[in-house]
Structure 1
Amino acid sequence: MHPRRSAQEVLLCDLCETVPLQSHCELCNINLCVNCAVKHLSDSSKRHKVVPFLHRKSTNYHKCPDHADKHCEIYCEKCGVPVCSTCALFGKHKGHDVSDILEKFSAKTESLQKDLEELETRIYPRYKEMASNVETEKAELETKYGKLTTDADEQGEILHREITAIVNRQKSAIAEMKTKHLDALNKNTEEITQKMAELKQIMSDLKSILKLNDVSLTSTYKSRNSQFRTLPPKVRVTLPSFSPQKINKDQLNEMFGSLSPLSINTEHGDTMKSAEAVSSPPVKPLLDEPRVTATINTGYNFLLGVSCLSEDQVWTRGQLNNTMKLLNLQSKLLTSIQTKSGNWPTDIAVTRDGDLVYTDHSNNTVNLIKNKQIQTVITLQGWRPRFVCCTAGNDLLVIMISDDLKQSKVVRYSGSTEKQSIQFDDQGRPLYSSGGNTKYLSENKNLDICVADYTARAVVVVNQSGKLRFRYTGHPSNTEQSFGLFSLFRYTGHPSNTKQSFNPRGITTDSQSHILTADFDNHRIHILDQDGQFLRYIHCHLDSPLGLCVDIRDNLFVAEFDTAKVKKIQYL
């Protein structure tokens, strides 16, 4: 027994060794006085658990299997097991490197707690989300496959009795594909559910080990977290489509149409980063003071939008002007193209191939410009296309409003084929405001879909599946603040110093998954992280910022409405 622990002496603090102890840290297994307890808790690198000394947990030492009267109070570094003093000095562990069992116990306890926290807060929720997404996909099968069946029925009604047999064969093929699709999803669900059950058991075992406070169990624990960071394979299914043909009685089998094959592919599951990797600093930190590196005069009366073709070339569009202009950083006009209808474009975007896309609300079309030739790829009925963006997968995301101005939605297209429609949340409530034509959108690096909803005065962000992640309605305070290194700089040059409510217009994202949105009335840009947390403002003497885009090097281009200028800003 330590001399300071004898019955004849007052028990003293393990750290200062001068003041009587009052507390005990169960994580580090040390005794503390009042002052040392405060200093100990100030160490934020660990999740210390300081309790009154009399309420401390007793440490359960394992009895030595070779010496019944001895407890294993020493840790053999070579063998990785607790041993008694006799084994360490004279037995089979003689000459091995040893260490204090309580220090090893403390480190392992902390490791167990970290594993449990990661499983509970990060890994298990991802499995749960995957299972929910598969269930959602299964719930939508009836509607999607029902549409295929309806298409086949409509074509069959035109051909009447002569094609009854063909219609039945098509229905049978659809039903078979649906069964295969459902079987694949059920198999995926079973695999995820099995893994979730394993995770629950591991978490339960870890809680039991921590509760028992058993040195042997704690010391011999082997983490399996790395095994579960690689998520289960995800089933990716391409739905078949029905392609009707004009009726030709001599070639009914050929002309009726055909279903594309059902494609069921299993993708390798993503490997989640460890908690340490997730918390690592960004590759490109924000600059303390963003700066304007170029200014482009567009020549419009009022500038509405900008889209990057490269680091030094941008497409622009103006109000009440049917000409889209490609300009360089020196304001030189490189190319100009007029819309097919003669009306001004509602929005523009550049594809991954460098082609220009524009929406036209006058004839409800989405158009692609390739080699200066305009091709209409989407024509809508009952809906009006508004703003558009191109995704990392080379799809088009189009935000549109209904003809009666009562509904809004985001639709994903692959070419001219609709792949996804996003309109309501899980409770059936509209995600986006009704009415109002101004809703910009962008896809984030993490595949979230970000919409700046001007009428709702909010940025609405959903994940790739269309589930609501968060709404950002502006920073709580309209006064400039300082956030450590990311201090906010003031702009006093604009005629009005009065802060208005949040008024989001243009929106874009960068390689760091930052979300940037233009606060039109307050003449500034809001920067958010991918989870909707406010990081800072960009001012740079902006005047009514509207359209935004980011190039491949994360330079921000801002279209100013009143000045009709595009400002190139370095902020990372």
Structure 2
Amino acid sequence: MALQSCAQDAMWCDMCESAVVLMHCNTCLINLCKGCVGEHLLEGAKDHKVVRFQDRVSDQHSNKCTSHPDKLSDLFCQDCSQPICSHCIASGGHSNHKIVLLKIIIQERKKILVRDQRVFTRFSLPSYQRFAKKLQIKLMRVEFEYQRTIESITRHGKKRCSEVNKIVSILTSEAMKLKKQQVQRLQQQIRETERQISFIQEAMNQTNDLMDSQSLIAVSSYIPKCHFKQLPEDIQITTPTFEKKELNLIPDHLSLFGSLKTDGVETDFKFIEMPPALWSSPIKDLLEEPKVVSTIETKHPSMLYNVACLGRDTIFTTGNDDVIQRICLKNDNNANFLDFIRTLFVPDFIRTSSGYRPWDIAVNREGNLIYSDRDSGAVLVVKDGKATVLLKSIYWIPLNICTTFSGDLLVIMNSNDHKQTKVVRYSGNTEIQSLQFDEMGQRLYHSDDGHKYITEIQSLQFDEMGQRLYHSYDGHKYITENGNLDICVADCQVGSVVVVDPSGKLRFRYSGVEPTLNNNLFCPRGITTDSQCQLLISDIGNDCIHLTDQDGQFLRYIDCGLEMPWGICTDQNDNLFVAECKSKKVKKIQYQK
């Protein structure tokens, strides 16, 4: 009887089903006897991880078949949305159903974990940590400013007679009340920010734990933390000031003594939405070898400089003439109908109103073409085939332009004497911000009459220390905004790419890698980004494209037989378009799977 009970309790090898289990494969999640280990290791091209049965990863054994709980599941029925085993297949219960490996489902779910981990680590946590430091600084400033205001009230009161002490008390009480309200708001926001940091760290710990799990139930139970999409951006704090009045008589009326100027007093916390690409873009792998998908001829007579994408089926190009060419890509079965409607009334050739060549082109969210005209000092928008002036500057020359995730327009501008360069963000025709210097007082961008491409830089001219971000001597500069809102400027003159955060704080400089592809100096021209927040930089000195991650770490070269690559852009599918200057051709390149 004891022997019968022992036999019933024994676990049998999943392969031969006749020998007692001694080993376990953590990769395939099957139990093995000693005699079947060798045969199992020869199966397939998997990296089998066979361990002693008692050393198996217990968490991986939680994937049980729904219909046969005593069996482990290595398959998943997508029609039934449940794990199944080989017995389920043999029984015919899932005939004509779409069956996939369970590990593929787990891997797909883990891609969400990887994406969230990337957002937490690179964006959410650092942003909230910086915001927490800003809050502490602002709190100290509020304390200081209120103390100064109260001292101003008190000093003015001491100049008066003792009869006005009551007035002083009233104003001081009013100031203290306002101070209490603003301090409470700041303290409340500090607590909320610390709580958000704690939530983010907790979410990161959760995703880290789940990344090590092979449990479908555990991984599928994960709910993406979409409530961290808002990132703190800035703090607007204003405090009241005391406006004193000189009196010859001691009045009994408060307004004659002075009052707190409360107009504009606010305690406001500004948050911005993360670009959807950070949360919705799938993780893409690079192709082993990039490939040219198509080569597009243009009709520019001498040189080709710029290329800009509209959707998936239309590009605009400019060269060394006064014409902007619209090119509809042929044989594109995925052409977007909305993009087609947007360009329906746009002619194939658009001539600049000034007769000079357009310096740069961009496409806004509405699908309208925008171009800068350096010689007329204007930026124009083309609607229904007609160009109208969007903005014009007297003392600054607009060069390269772009539209931003938020819908603003960013313009790189040179001073009339070509001694200063700045990047300006416009909302409509209103200037919002300007960047020029880094934290050490050095110029971020060199001033010149050359190219500067932009996708988002607000209005950048100086850094936090009042130093120039951009240098002022001859050289070409291109600029773009990354999906993480970084601002990236490629400066050919100094051979580097300058990357700052949305507030203008310098993040890093990329100066290429040594040795370069063709052993020539790194000379960046065009710059763009993709859905993975990777940077792509055209290098005319080495006839190639540099691909880096969002932190400036070099990933690979893309050459594909390029000749003098100039302007570049990416479309919605992360296809890369490269304008070859001398050949006047645009090459469409696929570099991701």
TM-score by length of 2: 0.53
Q: Residue 569 of structure 1 aligns with which residue? A: 587
Determine whether 1:128 maps to 2:125: yes
Distance 2:237 2:541 in 1: 47
Counterpart residue identity of residue 327, structure 1: Q
Choose which of 318, 323, 326 in structure 2 pairs with 1:325.
323
Choose which of 228, 232, 236 in structure 2 pairs with 1:231.
228
Counterpart residue identity of residue 410, structure 2: L
Q: 1:560 to 1:447 in 2, by over 3 A?
A: same
User: Matched residue of 1:186: which SS?
Assistant: helix
Q: CA deviation at 1:449?
A: 3.1
Per-residue CA deviations over 1:306-352 (Å, capped at 9, x if unaligned) read 5567966746364xxxx74333459975322328xx9x876554544
Choose which of 489, 496, 512 in structure 2 pairs with 1:451.
489
Determine whether 1:507 maps to 2:510: no
Contact 2:525 2:567 in 1 (8 A): yes
Q: CA deviation at 1:439?
A: 1.7
Q: CA deviation at 1:505?
A: 0.5
Q: 1:317 to 1:423 in 2, by over 3 A?
A: farther
Per-residue CA deviations over 1:233-259 (Å, capped at 9, x if unaligned) read 5456685999xxxxxxxxxxxxx9975
User: Matched residue of 1:388: which SS?
Assistant: strand
Distance 2:422 2:571 in 1: 27
User: Matched residue of 2:520: which SS?
Assistant: coil
Choose which of 520, 525, 537 in structure 1 pairs with 2:558.
537
Per-residue CA deviations over 1:343-395 (Å, capped at 9, x if unaligned) read x87655454453534274x99x66445754546455668xx865332213222
Per-residue CA deviations over 1:480-514 (Å, capped at 9, x if unaligned) read xxxxxxxxxxxxxxxxxx65243211123456766
Q: 1:199 to 1:553 in 2, by over 3 A?
A: closer
Alignment map for 1:336-375 (pairs within 5 Å): 336-338=352-354, 347-352=360-365, 354=368, 356-358=370-372, 360=374, 367-368=379-380, 372-374=387-389
Distance 1:115 1:348 in 2: 36
Determine whether 1:418 maps to 2:416: no
Aligned length: 461
Distance 1:144 1:397 in 2: 32
Distance 2:117 2:500 in 1: 21
Q: Residue 168 of structure 2 aligns with which residue? A: none
Contact 2:64 2:71 in 1 (8 A): no
Q: CA deviation at 1:457?
A: 3.1
Distance 1:26 1:467 in 2: 48
Q: Residue 252 of structure 2 aligns with which residue? A: none
Alignment map for 1:359-398 (pairs within 5 Å): 360=374, 367-368=379-380, 372-374=387-389, 376-377=391-392, 387-398=400-411
Q: Residue 440 of structure 1 aligns with which residue? A: 478
Q: Residue 193 of structure 1 aligns with which residue? A: 197
How large is the RMSD of aligned CA atoms in angstroms?
Answer: 6.8
Contact 1:346 1:358 in 2 (8 A): yes
Contact 1:528 1:536 in 2 (8 A): no
Q: 1:571 to 1:118 in 2, by over 3 A?
A: closer
User: Matched residue of 2:195: which SS?
Assistant: helix
Distance 1:550 1:101 in 2: 45
Q: 1:456 to 1:225 in 2, by over 3 A?
A: farther
User: Matched residue of 1:418: which SS?
Assistant: strand
Contact 2:579 2:586 in 1 (8 A): no
Distance 2:16 2:419 in 1: 71
Q: 1:325 to 1:39 in 2, by over 3 A?
A: same
Alignment map for 1:208-223 (pairs within 5 Å): none
Q: Residue 523 of structure 1 aligns with which residue? A: 543
User: Matched residue of 1:338: which SS?
Assistant: coil
Distance 2:141 2:413 in 1: 21
Contact 1:453 1:459 in 2 (8 A): yes
TM-score by length of 1: 0.54
Q: CA deviation at 1:192?
A: 0.8
Q: 1:29 to 1:270 in 2, by over 3 A?
A: farther
Identity of aligned residues (%): 25
Counterpart residue identity of residue 222, structure 2: N
Unaligned runs of 5+ in 2: 75-82, 84-101, 147-171, 240-260, 329-346, 446-469
Alignment map for 1:10-159 (pairs within 5 Å): 28=29, 30=31, 43=46, 53=52, 57=55, 97-100=68-71, 121-122=117-118, 124-125=120-121, 127-135=124-132, 138=135
Distance 1:304 1:58 in 2: 60
Q: 1:385 to 1:285 in 2, by over 3 A?
A: farther
Q: 1:50 to 1:120 in 2, by over 3 A?
A: farther
